[in-house]
Each structure stands twice: as structure tokens, then as C-alpha cells.
Amino acid sequence: MQLSGTVVYWHDDKGYGFVVCEQTTEKLFFHIRDNTQRNLRPQNGDRLQFSLQQDHKGRNIAAPWQLISANTKTNTNQISATRSKLKLAGERDIAHTNYIALIFRIIVLVAVILGLLFGKLLYVLPLLYIEASLFTYWLYKADKDAAIARHGSRLTEESLQLFSLIGGWPGAYIAQQKLAHKRSKRSFRREFALVILGNSLLIICLLSPWGQQFLARMAIWA
């Protein structure tokens, strides 16, 4: 089935962009290599006709595609309206992600306090690390998707580092490698290394005789 849509972002130097499908309102990636009109290049506001395919990660993309109308004032107005809608949608998504992140932090805090009071913290920690890693990976993916979509609202680096600090650093490391996100910024990488070091030292201290004594003193209902 042939679909159509308006180009909302085009990076001519790299030969890729995004088109919003008029039939589904989905924002789709498209690449110059899939252009059936080799002598024509799109611009923001142009309308494309395309088929729907999937990339190697199973995501929908517009391919192959062709230019069906050039940029006009009407199209410019349409793209401005579309961008505004996408920006609002992106802000809502990030706000929702931040809300879930807040709830998760509260759950982790409560679990740590209960683990201390019942003398079971060392038994709770492995589960917390697994859950925090899965959640942190999800946060990285959400921030990566926002970056690709060029949303103005993004997760803060402090928030990502915080979840690494509370046990999610294994998930953060996997996300950095697999999603190619936040692994090239040196300052972020330095902070991340300190987070791993601090986390490791904390675990060593808790497993030491001094740490065992501390946990025993903190336990009220052991």
C-alpha cells in the first residue's frame, strides 16, 4: 500500500530525515538510498509517497520513497503545526518518564530501608540491582528516542547518573554500548566511572566485617 506524508526533518549532508505519515500520523525514518528519483532531493515541507518497510531492528521506515510535491507555503504551515504537535507529545512522554522514575526511586528507598530494618539488605541488593539495571536501560532508550526525534525535552544527565548510582550502572553500561548513547561525551563517562567505583566500594564495605556489624546494628526486627 502506498502512503504519503510530509517531511518534518531532513539532514541533507547525511542523507536522512523523518516524514510524518498522513494516514497513520507515525513519524518514520527515511534515507536517500531509498529514493526512486535519484536526481531529486527532498527539503523540509516536501510531500513524499512511500511504502512501509522495517529496518534491521524491526522499526517501521519509509522505503522506497519518491517526491510528489515541493515545499509550499501551505506545506510550511503544515510542518510547523506537525512539529508543534510532536514537540508537545515528546514533552508529555518525557514528563511521564520522569514521573515513573520518581516512583521507582521511592520504591528503591523504601526497599533499602526495609532491608536495613529487617537485616535482609544483602539479600535484597541483588534484586534491586537487577531491577535498577532494567529500569536504567529503559531510561537510556527513552532519552535516545527523544534525541533521535529531536525533542526539546530530554532526561537530564544527572537523572541518568543517579539511577546508575542506586544500582543501575550495569544496565547503563549495556545501554551505552548497545544503543550508542552517552558513550562519547568524556565528562559523562568520567562521572559514570566514578559512579561504578563508588558503587563497588559500597558493596565491598557492606560485605566486610565492619559492614556486617553495621548492618547488624541497624537491624531492628532481625
Compute the average pLDDT of residues 156-172. 91
pTM over the 0.75 mark? no
Domain assignment of residue 78, yes or no: no
Q: Is 182 left (phi over 0), alpha (psi -120 to 50) or beta?
A: left
Same domain, yes or no, for 95 and 197? yes
Listed in sequence order, the residues at least 6 apart from 67 whose beta carbon sits closer than 8 Å to its beta carbon are: 35, 37, 40, 42, 46, 47, 48
Domain assignment of residue 80, yes or no: no
Same domain, yes or no, for 63 and 117? no
Same domain, yes or no, for 48 and 144? no
Same domain, yes or no, for 94 and 166? yes
Same domain, yes or no, for 138 and 174? yes
| Domain of residue 31, residue span | 3-71
Lowest mean pLDDT among 3-12, 89-98, 176-185, 196-205: 89-98
Name the pLDDT band for 160 (thresholds 50, 70, 90): very high
If residue 17 lies in a helix (H) or strand (E), which one and from where to where? strand 16-21
Q: Any idea what the CATH number is for the domain that residue 48 is in? A: 2.40.50.140
How many structural domains is the chain composed of?
A: 2
Closest residue by Cα to residue 42 from 3, 72, 7, 81 = 7
Could you say which of 22, 40, 71 is where a domain stops? 71
**pLDDT value of residue 116:** 83
Same domain, yes or no, for 64 and 98? no
Same domain, yes or no, for 17 and 61? yes
If residue 16 lies in a helix (H) or strand (E), which one and from where to where? strand 16-21
**pLDDT value of residue 90:** 58
Same domain, yes or no, for 96 and 187? yes
Could you say which of 44, 71, 98 is where a domain stops? 71
